[in-house]
Amino acid sequence: MLSDHNCSGIAGFCVVALACIGREKWIRRRKSKQRADWGEISARGESMLLPVFSYMPDLMKSLQDPYHPYTNPRGHITLCVAENKLAIELIGSRLMQYETSSRAFSDAAAYCYSNTLGLPGPREAVAYFLAKHFMHPELTDMNVTEALDHVRPEHVAFGAGAGALVSHLALSLMDEGDAVLIPAPYYAAFTFDLTILAKSTVVPVHSPNPSVGPTPDELENVAASAEAKGLRVRVLLLTNPNNPLGTIYPPEFVRSSIDWARNRKIHTIVDEIYALSVRESGFESVLKTLNGDLRNDVRDNGFNSYLSNVMQRLNTDNAHTFHFYSFPKVHHVYALSKDFCASGFRIGTLYTKNQRLLSCVANLNSLSTVSQPMQLIVQDLLTDDNFIYGFLEHTCQRTRYNYEVCASHLDQMVIPYIPAKAGIFIFADFSSLLPEQTAEGEARFFSLLIDAAKIILTPGQAQRDRKPGMFRICYAFVSPEVLGIAMQRLDRLVGKIRRCHDWDNLNAKSLIDIIL
C-alpha cells in the first residue's frame, strides 16, 4: 500500500508529466502554425516562384519530348526560344583552339579576385569591339588605340547575361514601384527581369505601327497616364533590332525617343543584343547615332558639368543639384547570346558613362561575377577581327536560309507576318484562325498547336501584343530540316482549322493526321 508521501509524489509527477506533455503539444502546435504562417519559403520567395514567362511550363514539356527523325518522330518541336543553334559548331571550333584556352587558364588573373566589373584586358576588348562594330562599323581597319579613343574601357562592365544587367539597371536606377516604359510588343522575359528583384512597374507603350515605334507624343501620353495613377516614370527601354518583330528602328526614332527621355529627365536603356544579326541594311547602333554622347541633356554644352565641378570644389550644398543634371542617362546593353550563338556563356556587357551607376553594378556583380577564364576567352574572341567578320557572314547566310524556309511556308498558308530584317524570328498573324478574337481564343489556338501539332510558338499575349493571335516563330532554334517538318505540321493544322466550321469538332480524332 502506498504511503501518502508516495501518493503525493506520484500525483506531483503526473501533474508535471501532464504539464510537460501539454507544453510539448503546444510547442508542436506552435511550430505547425509557424510553418503554416511562414510556408516552406518566405513571402518574398513565393514571389520568385513565378515563371520567367507564362508559357514556361509548355516550354519545359516540349524540351522533355524533343523531336528526332528516327527515335522520336512524333516529338515536340520547339520554336519559342530565341536562340541561334545554326552556327554553334563554328564558334565552338574557334574557341576550342589550344591557344585560346591556354591564354585563358595560364593567366594568373583567372584564379584571383578582381574588379567585379571585369578584368582590364577583357573590358578593353569589349570597348574595342563596341567601337569597331557598333560606333564606327565603316572603319574596318580601326586599330585598338583608335578604338579606345571612342569607347573607354572604364565605361564598360561585364554581367551574367543581358537579363542580369537589365535587372541590375532597374535596381540601381529605380525605386520599388517606379515605372519603365517599353514599346510593345516586347520580349516576354523583360517583365521578369525588371520585377523579380527591382519590383519595377512595366508599362507597355502601344502604337498604331509598332515596327516604326511610338512617337514622342505617344510616349508622353503613356507617361502622363502612368503618372496619373501615381507612378513615377524613371526609365525608357528600347530594343533595337526589335524582339519580337525582327524589325529595325530608324536612327530618327531612336534619337527622338532619347531626346524625349532627356527632356523628361529619365534614363534610356538601349538593348542591342541582335545588333549583328542583321540581314538587310538600315541598322545603326545608338552609339553611332549619338556619336558616343551619353550625356543627360541634349542641350547641355558642357556648362552643367563644369558648374557641377566648381560647386563640388566649393563644397556648397547645391552641388548635388547641378550634378544631377550632368548624369549620363543613356545606357547600352549587349550580350554574346544571340549574335555569337552563346546564350549558355551568360556574358553580357554594359556601356555607360554614369560612374555612380557602374559602382552600383560592381557591388551587384559581386554576387554574380562573370568567371574570369570566360572573360579571357571573350577577350581573345572579340579581338579576332578575321574570325568575327567571317563568322557573322556565315551566320547571316544560315539564318537567312531558315528565315526564307519559314516565310515561304507562311506565304503558302496565306498567314500574314511582319517581314523581318534582323533577329532570329518572325512575328506572324494567326488571328483569322482563332475561335474568338480574345485572349482566351489565342490560348485555345496555342493549346491546339501543342496538343495536335506538338509545336510551341511564343504567344503574343506574353509579349503584351494587344491583337490576339500574334505569335513569334523562332526559326533558328532548329535545323532547316526540322524547321521544314514543323512548318508542314503547321500547314496541316491551319488547313484543318479552315475546313472546320466548328472549333468543338477539332478533337483528337479529327486531328490525328497532323503529325505523320
Per-residue model confidence as pLDDT tens digits over 117-136: 999 999 999 999 999 999 99
- 410 occurs within a structural domain: yes
- 308 occurs within a structural domain: no
Find where cell 574596318 sits. 140
Smallest CA-to-CA distance from 336 within 324, 344, 326, 327 is with 344
220: which 3 cell numbers?
508622353
What is the reported pLDDT for 507? 77
Contact assessment for residue 289 and residue 254, using Cβ atoms and an 8 Å cutoff: yes
- 440 occurs within a structural domain: yes
Residues 364 and 456 in one domain: no
- 212 occurs within a structural domain: yes
> Which residues in the chain land under pLDDT 70?
1-39, 296-328, 508
What is the reported pLDDT for 299? 43
- 45 occurs within a structural domain: no
CA pair distance 233, 309, nearest whole angstrom: 28
How many other CB atoms are there within 10 angstroms of residue 18's CB atom? 10
Residues 197 and 345 in one domain: yes
- 374 occurs within a structural domain: yes
What is the reported pLDDT for 24? 53
Residues 65 and 179 in one domain: no
Residues 466 and 363 in one domain: no
Smallest CA-to-CA distance from 249 within 220, 217, 289 is with 289
Peptide bond into 183 cis (omega under 30): no
CATH code where residue 448 lies: 3.90.1150.10
Contacts of 294 (CB under 8 A, 6+ apart): 328, 329, 330, 331, 332, 352, 353, 354
What is the reported pLDDT for 43? 84
Contact assessment for residue 111 and residue 512, using Cβ atoms and an 8 Å cutoff: no
Q: How many domains does the chain have?
A: 2
CA pair distance 152, 36, nearest whole angstrom: 54
- 312 occurs within a structural domain: no
The distance of Cα 391 from the centroid of its chain, to the nearest Å, equals 24
306: which 3 cell numbers?
563644369
Among the three residues 321, 348, 383, which one is the final residue of a domain in this structure? 383
Residues 186 and 286 in one domain: yes
Contacts of 186 (CB under 8 A, 6+ apart): 204, 237, 239, 243, 244, 463, 464
Question: 3-state DSSP call for residue 159?
Answer: strand
Query: What Å distances lie between residue 283 and 4, 201, 237, 239, 273, CA to CA?
Result: 100, 30, 18, 12, 12
What is the reported pLDDT for 320? 40
CA pair distance 276, 273, nearest whole angstrom: 8
* Strand residue runs (E) in 227-343: 233-239, 267-271, 330-335
Assign residue 456 a region (left: φ > 0; alpha: ψ between -120 and 50; beta: otherwise).
beta
What is the reported pLDDT for 60? 92
Smallest CA-to-CA distance from 223 within 256, 192, 178, 255 is with 178
Contacts of 159 (CB under 8 A, 6+ apart): 165, 168, 347, 348, 349, 350, 361, 365, 368, 370
Residues 182 and 68 in one domain: no
Smallest CA-to-CA distance from 215 within 205, 201, 230 is with 205
Smallest CA-to-CA distance from 246 within 3, 82, 117 is with 82
How many other CB atoms are there within 10 angstroms of residue 92's CB atom? 11
Residues 422 and 459 in one domain: yes
Contact assessment for residue 86 and residue 474, using Cβ atoms and an 8 Å cutoff: no
CA pair distance 118, 357, nearest whole angstrom: 15
Contact assessment for residue 94 and residue 363, using Cβ atoms and an 8 Å cutoff: no
Residues 214 and 349 in one domain: yes
Contact assessment for residue 159 and residue 168, using Cβ atoms and an 8 Å cutoff: yes
What is the reported pLDDT for 510? 81
Residues 231 and 132 in one domain: yes
Residues 378 and 394 in one domain: no
CA pair distance 385, 371, nearest whole angstrom: 23
Query: What Å distances lie between residue 306 and 152, 268, 332, CA to CA?
Result: 21, 23, 25
Q: What are phi and psi of 256, to 5 degrees?
A: -65, -35
Domain assignment of residue 112, given as a range: 107-294+329-383
- 404 occurs within a structural domain: yes
Residues 79 and 170 in one domain: no
The secondary structure of 309-374 as a DSSP string is HHHHHTT-TTHHHHHHHTS--EEEEEESTTTTT-GGG--EEEE-S-HHHHHHHHHHHTTSPPPHHH
Contacts of 384 (CB under 8 A, 6+ apart): 94
CATH code where residue 360 lies: 3.40.640.10
Smallest CA-to-CA distance from 189 within 84, 51, 79 is with 51
Find where cell 554574346 sits. 336
Residues 190 and 260 in one domain: yes
Segment 29-72, tens digit of pLDDT: 555 544 445 568 888 888 888 888 889 999 998 999 999 999 99
